[in-house]
Amino acid sequence: MEELRISPADPRGSPGKEQQAAGVGILLQIMMLVLSFVLGHVLRRHRFYYLPEASASLLIGLIVGGLANVSNTENSIRSWFNFHEEFFFLFLLPPIIFQSGFSLQPKPFFSNFGAIVTFAIFGTFVASMITGILVYLAGVSYLIYRLPFVECLMFGALISATDPVTVLSIFQELGTDVNLYALVFGESVLNDAMAISLYRTMSLVRSHMSSDQNIFMVVVRFLETFVGSMSAGVGVGFTSALLFKYAGLDIDNLQNLECCLFVLFPYFSYMLAEGLGLSGIVSILFTGIVMKHYSYSNLSDKSQKFVSAFFHLISSLAETFIFIYMGFDIAMEQHSWSHIGFIFFSILFIGIARAANVFSCAYLINMVRPSHRKISMKHQKALWYSGLRGAMAFALALQSVHDLPEGHGQTIFTATTAIVVLTVLLIGGSTGTMLEALEVVGDGHETPLGESFDANDRYIAPTYEGESSAGNRFKMKLSEFRRSTASFTELDRNYLTPFFTSQSGEDDDRDDIFSDNGRASYH
Amino acid sequence: MEELRISPADPRGSPGKEQQAAGVGILLQIMMLVLSFVLGHVLRRHRFYYLPEASASLLIGLIVGGLANVSNTENSIRSWFNFHEEFFFLFLLPPIIFQSGFSLQPKPFFSNFGAIVTFAIFGTFVASMITGILVYLAGVSYLIYRLPFVECLMFGALISATDPVTVLSIFQELGTDVNLYALVFGESVLNDAMAISLYRTMSLVRSHMSSDQNIFMVVVRFLETFVGSMSAGVGVGFTSALLFKYAGLDIDNLQNLECCLFVLFPYFSYMLAEGLGLSGIVSILFTGIVMKHYSYSNLSDKSQKFVSAFFHLISSLAETFIFIYMGFDIAMEQHSWSHIGFIFFSILFIGIARAANVFSCAYLINMVRPSHRKISMKHQKALWYSGLRGAMAFALALQSVHDLPEGHGQTIFTATTAIVVLTVLLIGGSTGTMLEALEVVGDGHETPLGESFDANDRYIAPTYEGESSAGNRFKMKLSEFRRSTASFTELDRNYLTPFFTSQSGEDDDRDDIFSDNGRASYH
């Protein structure tokens, strides 16, 4: 992995000069950030959904990067814009993932938890394998540039990480079904962890090339990481809940101390997991969920308002910055455009792989689910369509340039870059149209999402009415499902909430006030 | 200047391994931060002023650094703790200085503006020259390690940067005279800018060694930088005020956008000044003052509360982190303790130089001021005593290790390190005792500072009653002073406030609600 240089590489430059270059670099970045925010706001106000905020940021980055490339920019300034994977993984990604967990509505997420895990773990595994095998076969048959099999699997893994930012912001804007929202959201957050884990495992397999690494081991290793990270995240979350319950910091003049500590916990969780060799992403996601549900209610009212707004602000800045940064880097990096065939076929292959992921997993899930909760074909199509690739794929591809031999990494990086730009601009721009065409838009818009959840169960039901003629089995399954979700709710209400919070556990509904939108979580 | 490495230097290490090391490094830092906050809180609650928060943080850093030095810590983790001057100047310093300006009470600051500028510019110049000359003379007479004259002046410049954090937090805690507070605060913020500017100029003189660089040119260059930076800062502040006045972002669901933009402006100002080769510190300080006075009142109520708390939080984190970071680095770096004489004499010399600064400037100021506003001897002594050295001197000394030849830079660095540790621990720990001994404590504690300002004019008056026997001249000067401060207030009320804010300019007092303490600016 390349070193993360914050200062330019010339060691003889005078400090004043270097600091000046850094100043100009950061200045440009701030100006692009401001431009993105303002442009995004103007576009949203005019309900122009063909260019969502993320696409606008990416375009701004691309344009400014292109200009900087044409003009004779000083190298010292230019070096400030290189995309550093470590900076991405250590500083930009954690706030975004934490905010995902923190703004999560636990109800639809947990009621779809099985489906989400199936899509994210099994589905992503299937998708990355299919992509890898197809790329390998196409290489063997001289259709495209030929890569070794393990490298194809690495490409398959990194390109299977989907990005939630663009699609979800449009979902929120238009107001879609909460279940669909929970599926897309949950899948894209968890599959990032799966993709990183798969990529790293493949990378290890490649460097050791030992034959005893089989698929089973990969799966076990992933599950180990996943469960370990989840436990670490939940543990940190519960620790913070107890701290804020007993430290007595919720008096007026200690608000700053309270907020400082609250803000440090998520990052602690991320770094704890990374330090233990686990997945920081999974850990911080669960810390976010637990901290929102338990620690949050132990804060004073002012601190509650503050931390909601704080995490929202930080994650918005990080999100926008990532897209600008990515656009700029795409315009500046060396690309090997000779592999246009590779790009074309990989786009085809990831479409096929995503179809295999979504439709096979949905089939499995629908086999288990009671008929009124089956995932409708419309939702499956929307889920398939929502699989655009973003910063995670980009960061892993950039890493592969350092990991793989000359040429191979470049090919993968160029293909990933092209896929990211195309999917963000095309899929991002057409999500609104797609949602309207599939008629999954409109409900849940006026009413708060928490309420429309029950309404949606009824909404989906008619589509599959014909299948559930066995009224008796239907009712049994229904009550079974209700009982299983009720048991967690009861555990939560009777034991967890009283133990971890200073409330009596009867004011469950107050969460909804803050998490109703995620984009406007600060009231 | 050394490259800022966020990742360790070994290029062959696997990415996972490096990320893990980074994780462990950051994890330790977070744990120390949490420990500092908790320890600081416990000490403050027990009114134990001998170990203020900054000293506690420094000690924690020293202890953990010492342990890490003794144990066999991996190099990759260790590299995460090196103090990087660029990281300090670009990311840790700006929020602290902005918060200084943002939490400033304009009234006592502007009414003491002449005195503050005298202390900060003329006084710091005098102090650094005296320190430099004394160190050079002692070197020539073989008392201490001999450094070239220009390097002595560089040392004099960097060691003249005083640090406000520790002293001011105790001032606030104990509640001292607002005028004294404004003097200490204003001087230490502005003299940082002066010290950097002087250091850089001397560094240029040294590398070019051209004889046409005289003291006059240095002064002109400094004034140029100062006025340029101030204009840039004020300009950015006014731009932000107009943006928030006319953009209409103060409606409810745009709070996040509003806060994002507000948060980006200060950093924009800092980087603009640095990019133009000016002083970012001076620029961001004035942006803070202007944004608080004008832009702030154009925000929605919720955003106002949020941004106050946000800047307070960020600057607390940065402050605490700097002291931990410094302590850790002091324990880890190579020091040349052979120059114990150099350390002893420099401490003596900076005491003399600060006395020359404070008492000569106070003499000059008292010549001009009306007798009821003269700086009392008690305040002069308190001001002399408050000159502890902190992060700015440390960062510049670290830079000098790279700028100066082998041995010279090391000597300066070791001496600075010793001075920082001694002054922070000793002066920081005894400030409370000193303030009580000088009897400048107690007033302004119960009443809000804004009100005690008028009370203080009366409070200082009796000390110098004897001198002002010429009652006529006294009254003339008084009314003159009143007119000069009134004219700015009038300009502000009649033109600036109506132009830059959406208020009518009649609610001037509302600022006091938020800026009454600076430690508790979020209500």
Cα dihedral across residues B243, B244, B245, B249: positive or negative: positive
CA–CA distance, B491 with B476 (Å, rounded to integer): 22
Highest-confidence segment of A342-351, A403-412, B444-453: A342-351
- Report yes or no: B26 at the A interface, CB cutoff 8 Å: yes
Of residues A246 and A335, the one with the higher pLDDT is: A246
Please name the residue of chain B whose CA is at the shortest distance from the CA of residue A3.
B7
- Report yes or no: A208 at the B interface, CB cutoff 8 Å: no
Residue A452 identity (one-letter amino acid): S
Average pLDDT over residues A285-289: 89
Structural contact between residues B66 and B81, judged by C-beta atoms closer than 8 angstroms: no
Highest-confidence segment of A64-73, A184-193, B245-254: A184-193
- Report yes or no: A267 at the B interface, CB cutoff 8 Å: yes
Out of B255, B268, B309, whose CB is closest to A259? B309
pLDDT in tens, A68-96: 777 766 666 666 666 777 788 888 889 98
Please name the residue of chain A whose CA is at the shortest distance from the CA of residue B27.
A271
pLDDT in tens, B389-401: 888 888 888 888 8
A306 and B302 within 8 Å at the Cβ level: the answer is no
- Prediction pTM value: 0.80
Structural contact between residues B345 and B144, judged by C-beta atoms closer than 8 angstroms: yes
Of residues A248 and B515, the one with the higher pLDDT is: A248
pLDDT in tens, B299-350: 888 889 899 999 999 988 998 998 888 888 888 776 666 778 888 899 999 9
**Which of B:113-152 have CB within 8 Å of A?**
none
C-alpha separations of A189 from A108, A320, A355, A399 in Å: 15, 17, 19, 20
Structural contact between residues B387 and B443, judged by C-beta atoms closer than 8 angstroms: no
CA end-to-end span of chain A: 43
- Report yes or no: A254 at the B interface, CB cutoff 8 Å: yes
- Report yes or no: A14 at the B interface, CB cutoff 8 Å: yes
pLDDT in tens, A16-57: 566 677 778 888 888 999 999 888 888 888 877 788 888 889
B427 min Cα distance to partner chain A (Å): 25
B453 min Cα distance to partner chain A (Å): 23
A1 and B18 within 8 Å at the Cβ level: the answer is yes
A337 min Cα distance to partner chain B (Å): 27
C-alpha separations of B397 from B93, B159, B411 in Å: 16, 8, 10
Please give the structure tokens belonging to residue A130: 């299919």
Out of A7, A23, A263, whose CB is closest to B271? A23
Please name the residue of chain B whose CA is at the shortest distance from the CA of residue A280.
B23
Closest CA to A396 of A266, A258, A202: A202
Give the pLDDT confidence score for residue B269 in this predicted structure: 93
* A491-496: Cβ within 8 A, 24+ apart: A492/A293, A496/A294
Give the pLDDT confidence score for residue A330 in this predicted structure: 83
- Report yes or no: B24 at the A interface, CB cutoff 8 Å: yes
CA–CA distance, A277 with B21 (Å, rounded to integer): 9
A154 min Cα distance to partner chain B (Å): 15
At residue A176, φ and ψ (nearest 5 deg) are -100, 180
Average pLDDT over residues B482-489: 61
Out of B26, B84, B263, whose CB is closest to A271? B26
CA–CA distance, A266 with A416 (Å, rounded to integer): 30
CA–CA distance, A122 with A142 (Å, rounded to integer): 30
Give the pLDDT confidence score for residue B12 in this predicted structure: 37
Share of chain B above pLDDT 90, in %: 14
With H, G, I as helix, E, B as strand and everything else as coil, classify residue B13: coil
CA end-to-end span of chain B: 43
At residue B441, φ and ψ (nearest 5 deg) are -110, 155
